[in-house]
Amino acid sequence: MNNEKNQSNLKQTELSIELKNLFDSAKIASENAYSPYSHFKVGAAILCKNGKQFTGCNIENASFGGTICAERVAICKAVSENEKEFTAIAVYVQSEKLFPPCGMCRQFMVEFSTDMIVIYGNEQYLEISNIGELLPESFKL
Ligand code: THU
């Protein structure tokens, strides 16, 4: 196992205070999920370089394509407040299975940072990665 992999499957107690706090914010945000179709509750929290945090939850729509993921809601809230420099994003899923961010959210993240830390987890476990690892050779103009 290399060092990168040693960082995986961390118990939440092993995370730095700042990132633990971000993950806790994502968990709280998941309570606001509007997901009457999938019943999948997701929360996200993004950390700006200046220390500010913005949260988001998934918001579904009867016209399914109108659904937006928690990660993109958090990023849109930050960008709409003129915050565009990010260090980390945490994603919490109310599920027993761990899910990494979807492809569209990865593309959304890489628009603003190529080295953002990405934490995703549930009540038991979390993974810590970064956007470069999750979306190598990303599309950029
Ligand atoms: N979802 C997210 O919020 N983030 C992801 O990265 C993947 C999927 C949401 C969208 C939808 O409301 C539900 O999870 C099922 O796809």
Residue with CA closest to ligand 1 atom 13? 40
CA–CA gap between residue 41 and residue 110 (Å, rounded): 24
Q: What is the torsional sign of CA 59, 65, 71, 73?
A: negative
Q: Band the pLDDT of 9: cuts 50, 70, 90.
A: low
Among 24, 111, 99, 112, which residue's Cα sits nearest to residue 69?
A: 99
CA gyration radius, the chain:
14
Ligand 1 and 38: CB distance under 6 A: yes
Report d(CA 126, CA 119) in Å as an integer.
7
- pLDDT tens across 27-84, in order? 999 999 999 999 999 999 999 999 999 999 999 999 999 999 999 999 999 999 999 9
pLDDT tens per residue, range 91-136: 999 999 999 999 999 999 999 999 999 999 999 999 999 999 999 9
Q: Is residue 44 a contact partner of residue 68, using CB atoms and an 8 Å limit? A: no
Residue 71 annotated to the active site: yes
Closest C-alpha to ligand 1, atom 10: 69
pLDDT at 4: 41
**Beta bridge partner(s), residue 54:** 46
